[in-house]
Each structure stands twice: as C-alpha cells, then as structure tokens.
A and B are shown apart, each in its own frame.
Chain A
Amino acid sequence: EPTLYTVKGMAILDNDGNRILAKYYDKNVFPTSKEQKTFEKNLFSKTHRANAEIIMLDGLTCVYRSNVDLFFYVMGSSHENEVCIIRLCQVFQILSWNINLLGLFQLILMSVLNCLYDSVSSILRKNVEKRAVLDSLDIVMLAMDEICDGGIILDADATSVVQRVALRTDDIPLGEQTVAQVLQSAKEQLKWSLLK
C-alpha cells in the first residue's frame, strides 16, 4: 500500500548504547519504553563495531552512522526503500556536524581554559562530541522534529533542516559554508591535538 508513513523511528545513542534521544512513530512497533530500550541495546551491540551502514533487526531495516562517540539510527519497515532512509541518516549526521558547531565556541573556550589552568590529562577525559550535542540538546530536539513528523519524512535536506532550526544566528553564520568549513578544520585540529 503506497503511503508517506515510512519512518518507524530515529535514535541517537552514545558510545555505551545509552539513549540520548529517540523517537518511535508507530505505536505497533515497540509500544513500551522498555521494549524500545531493549531494542536499542540490541541494535547497539550489533552495530557499534561494524561500520556497515545497514542492518536488519526485529523485522526493521535500520540504517546507521557513527561520529566519534555518537551513533545515529533511522528505522524503517523491511518493505521500505533503503536508499531513501539512508538519505535521512545522512541528513542526521550532517546535522550533528552542525550541532557540534553550535557547541564549538564552548569547546574552544574550554580548551583554552584547560591549557591555562589544567593538565592535559584532564582534557583527555572530556568527551567533546557527545557533550556538544548535550549542550545543544534543545536544538537537536527541534532538528529531529523537522526531519520527521509522525513517521512522515518532513525534510531530507540538511541545509534546509539547519535553516529551520538554526535559530541562534547571532552565534554562528550557518549560511556561510566557507566559514563553516574553516571552523570544521579548526575543530578537527583541536580534536587531534587533544587526543594526542
């Protein structure tokens, strides 16, 4: 039956498989929060090592991507067009990249502060990527809400989703791609210097 209801769920998990955010759109798929979390644990244990992009689990097609210490999942029914939902997952990841940008300013401040006052070992313990998402949790929630509405793909273009949620325009000129690229490379360098 042709329908627009294609997405069964979306989730962001941390590197222990704990839920940061998750939404399930079909009441018949994992109706209780307990079932959802069991599924997430199972999903995580099967996907966190292999970076294989796609897996079938409990009758769902799950596509996924990871980003340092974050795991992004989009679930569709097994009859769903895989290529279509992997597209959503890409949007999700690009978005996280932008969300990290939102947290970047705190990140720079933090590192400067740490360089001055703290030892390198204390910096090593900071989990930058997950933190960035948690620091902008409100924006991430709004973004998820803009990507999928009740199981219908609302927007599958990262630029457009970011435009719809990037409300803190005073912080970051997200429209300027060049600036964003500079920030990204700065972030990469910073990350590697911290991880050394």
Chain B
Amino acid sequence: MITFKRDKKEEEDGGGNPFQNLEKTTVLQEARTFNNTPVNPRKCAHILTKILYLLNQGEQLGTTEATEAFFAMTKLFQSRDVILRRLVYLGIKELSSLAEDVIIVTSSLTKDMTGKEDLYRAAAIRALCTITDSSMLAAIERYMKQAIIDRSPAVSSAALVSSLHLTSVSSDVARRWANEAQEALNCDNVMVQYHALGVLYQARKADKHAVIKLVAKLMRTSPKSPYAACMLIRMAYKLLDEVDEGEELIGFIESCLRHKSEMVVYEAAHALVNLGRSGAREIGPAISVLQLFCGSPKPALRFAAVRTLNKVAMSHPAAVTACNLDLENLITDSNRSIATLAITTLLKTGAESSVDR
C-alpha cells in the first residue's frame, strides 16, 4: 500500500503537471523559436503559456531577460492565430513592467484596436493602456473616446476600465472622457453601465455638487445593472456624510431594499444600518432584511448578514434583539466564521433568558 501511494505521488508529480519542473533558462531559450518564419502557432502558444506560467509562479526575470523575451514575442504579431494573438496581449501586460522599450508594440496594438474583430479590439485596448505613458496619451485619446462609445460591450468596457487605470498616469483622463462615459451610461449592458458610472464618479468626485447632480439623476432612473446600483448606493451613502438634507438619498437607499438582486439588497441594508444619523426606526426595515438573510441557504448571505448585525449590535443592541432567535440558529452553523460572529453578536444583545436556551 505504501509503495502504491508513493507511485501515485510520483506519477502525479511527473505526469500530472506538464508545467512542473520548468527551467526558466530553458523556456527563455525556447522563446527564440518566436523568431522563426513562418510562425508555428501551436508551438509558440505553448511556449508563451510556459513563460506566463513561470511568471505566475513568481519566477523573477531580469531586465535583459524580460526585454529579450518581449522582443521575441513581438515577432508573433505576424501570425493571425487568435489564441496566439490573445496570449501575446497577455504577455505584453505581464512583461510591460519588467522589460524596456515596450512602446515598440504601440502601432501593432493600435492597429488591432481599430480593426474589425471585436474580441481583438477589447483585449488590444487593455494591453495598449498598460504600456501607455503620459507622452503617448494624446496619441491614443481619439481612439479611446471612440472605443468608449463603441456598440460592442466588450470594447466599451475595456476602454472604460482602462481609462480608470490610466488616471494613475494622468489624473484628468476621466474628466476629459466624461462626455463619452456619460453616453456609455445609457448602454443596456450591465457591465458597461457599471464601468461608465465608475469613470463618471472618478471624473466628478472632487466636485461635491457635480456628484449630487449625478446621483440625483440616476436615482430617478434607477440603474438596471446591480453592480451600478451598488456603486450608486455607496455614492449616496458617502454624500449623506457631507450634505445636511438627505431625505431623498435615504429614501432611495430604502427603495433598494426591494431590488430583485440580493447583492443590491444587502448593499442597501449595510448602508442603512451604518448611517451614523439613523435611529431605530430608520434601520428597522434593513434589520428585517438581514434577518431574512440569516436563514438563507447560501453561506455568503448568512455571513454577510451576521457580520453586519454584529457591527450594529454595538450601536443599536435593542434593534438587533429581534434577530436573536435567528442568531441562535447560526451558532451551530457549519461555517465557523458565521458561528463565531453569531455568538459574539448574541453576547452583545442576549439576555439571561437566551443564555438558558
């Protein structure tokens, strides 16, 4: 039996993982194949996967090594193979911080991002923006603005997300592209809506009145995307800290307790119970929702609910008492984090009567 086990182990180590025991120097040597013409897509994709795997495992590449690999990789743009091309984009992103002169691929990527294939375009935009510095920004600005309002959700999302990343290169990117983001906000796609809202908030967050206007407008239409709705609740929650009159904002967050997406309902309940100004009356409906979540078959929901209740128990122990029975049920929960949180919450709210039980 013991020998069998060892055999099994060896088999797994040797034959189980074709990527185990890769040598960095060997793989980098293999990367020279990239220079051969015509390109062999299958073989090159496999080698590139090995390089990406090594990097992912935490292997360190020196600047020279990385630059050599990067330049060899640029030769693969000759091939039209889809998988290979997408892997090249990944490679560009992974090596962009390690290799020198990475801007060499700018024109190839710009060509791909303005080409016909949507799947290329989205991925090319994201790769291009990782190698873009402040001096290149002006050159790609026109393309980015077009991409944000593109009819393909993948392209639009890629451009919006990339513009958020680019704010670390140039802080006013979001503001300069806000008009396009505003247009993308009307898109039917839930992710595009979410990403557009992120860019708009980034563009306006320094100006309180602009944020109030944005939130007020969106509250009326109520975004379809649950992600965007969560973001909007967070924006409203933050505003409540800064404005005096917030009846409308609170009303909006309360209305989100009836949203059909659990994620939004939880976000709203969480926001309501954490508002410093709210009294027992305001948090009542939110507590009821969290109480419902305590009985959910999904561990994540129970966890989220009990964690929030645990926090509220500090400020409003009386309001949480209503949930005591549900919390007692959670003491034996198979998830230990949930059980622990339930116990500590009960310690804050519980009376002698519940200790007996």
Contact = CB atoms under 8 A, between A and B. Distances in A.
Answer whether A and B are interacting partners: yes
Interface of A: 1-4, 19, 21-23, 33-34, 36-37, 50, 52-56, 63, 81-84, 86-87, 125, 127, 130-131, 134-135, 137-139, 141-142, 145, 149-150, 152-157, 164-165, 167-168
Contacts of B46: 138
Contacts of B165: 149-150
A142 B90 contact: yes
B336 A137 contact: no
Nearest to B300: A86
B52 A141 contact: yes
A16 B114 CA distance: 45
B314 interface: no
B275 interface: no
A150 B304 CA distance: 25
B198 A22 contact: no
B212 interface: no
B133 interface: no
B337 A56 contact: yes
Given A4-B164, A53-B298, A81-B263, A33 B227 contact: no
Interface residues of B, number: 62
A52 B303 CA distance: 10
Interface stretch (B8-16, B142-150, B250-258): B8-16
Interface string B299-332: 1110110010000000000000000000000000
A53 B335 contact: yes
B304 A82 contact: yes
B265 to A, nearest CB: 8
Contact of A125 (B8, B195, B263, B337): B8
B53 A2 contact: no
Contacts of A156: 191, 227
9 contacts: A52-B337, A81-B263, A83-B266, A125-B12, A142-B83, A142-B86, A150-B165, A154-B191, A164-B154
A149 B300 contact: no
Given A54-B303, A150-B165, A154-B157, A81 B16 contact: no
A130 to B, nearest CB: 7
Nearest to A16: B12
B227 A54 contact: no
Given A54-B337, A81-B267, A153 B19 contact: no
B195 A152 contact: yes
Interface in B196-211: 198, 201
B48 to A, nearest CB: 8
Interface in B94-110: none
B273 interface: no
B334 to A, nearest CB: 6
